[in-house]
Amino acid sequence: MDSIVTAQDYLAKYGIKPSVQRIAIMEYLMEHRTHPSTDEIHSVLIKWMPTLSKTTVYNTLKLFTEQGALTALGIDDRNIRYDIDVSDHAHFICLGCGKVYDIPVDHLDKLIVRGGEELTITETHLYYKGYCKLCDNKRLK
């Protein structure tokens, strides 16, 4: 992510009008780059925003994704995860602990799809699944 310092600046960059809830959600995403789900974000923010509904969090994340400020990741079979890093990169999910890792990938935009001449590709998602070092060590014991 570039050097934008505030949630308000980041929202403005993507043409999103700030509100107390939107700023709080964006600040959470900027501070916790853990690929959280809607439930994770809601469970943290509800502690100091008791009127914040899960629907508001869901709709806000949907808006952020539609405006290009976030990427929605369908890597987890149970939840959509959200990534504030909208640059080209791959993801790895640990099948043991569920943690999602960013994986830098060079030239993802130059990936050649055979037989894709009749297709207009607007998004590319590259996911890997396996075990992180800690979970793999536990699994092999």
Percent of the chain with pLDDT over 90: 72
Contact 103, 92 (CB under 8 A): yes
Q: Could you give the strand order of the β-sheet that contains 100-103, starting from the edge strand earlier in sequence?
A: 100-103, 90-94, 127-130
- Which residue type is seen at 67? Q
58-115 confidence digits (pLDDT tens): 999 999 999 999 999 999 888 999 999 998 899 999 999 999 999 998 877 677 777 7
Between the two ends of the chain, the Cα-to-Cα distance in Å is: 39
Q: What is the DSSP code (8-state) at residue 110?
A: G
**What does the pLDDT read at residue 40?**
96
CA gap 44, 66 in Å, rounded = 23
**pLDDT of residue 126 exceeding 80:** yes
72-87 confidence digits (pLDDT tens): 999 988 899 999 999 8
